[in-house]
């Protein structure tokens, strides 16, 4: 029993710290707050997608595929044979 008496003040001094260690920090959002944030983000995403669809359906200039680019240097040609004289 003497061992128990020597440890009891230490135990009682540590209990409040153990209780604090198990409580979540106050800066973390609650599950309700997380749900509200998620709902708001989903609503904003839907609004942005709707705006994008409306813009894509507007009449106007369409994007055409670019025509083939002309060769950058027309002086190039294939060499089929080389003759060396005076060698």
Note whether residue 52 is domain-resident. yes
pTM for the whole structure: 0.39
Q: In which region does residue 76 sit, left (phi positive, over 0), alpha (psi from -120 to 50) or beta (all else)?
A: beta
- The residue range of the domain holding 38 is 29-56
- Name the helix (H) or strand (E) containing 8: helix 2-22
Note whether residue 2 is domain-resident. no
For residue 47, the model assigns a pLDDT of 96
Note whether residue 36 is domain-resident. yes
Supply the mean pLDDT for the chain.
Answer: 77
Alpha-carbon separation of residue 10 from 6, 13, 14, 15, 40 (angstroms): 8, 5, 6, 9, 49
Note whether residue 39 is domain-resident. yes
Question: Is 56 or 4 the better-scoring residue by pLDDT?
Answer: 56
For residue 4, the model assigns a pLDDT of 55
57 pLDDT above the threshold of 70: yes
64 pLDDT above the threshold of 60: yes
Q: What is the pLDDT averaged over residues 39-63? A: 89
């Amino acid at each position: 029993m003497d061992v128990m008496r020597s440890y009891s003040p230490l135990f009682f001094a540590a209990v409040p710290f153990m209780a604090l260690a198990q409580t979540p920090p106050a800066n973390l959002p609650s599950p309700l707050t997380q749900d509200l944030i998620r709902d708001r983000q989903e609503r904003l995403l839907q609004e942005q997608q709707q705006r994008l669809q409306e813009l894509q359906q507007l009449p106007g200039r369409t994007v055409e595929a670019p025509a083939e680019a002309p060769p950058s240097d027309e002086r190039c040609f294939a060499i089929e044979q080389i003759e060396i004289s005076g060698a």
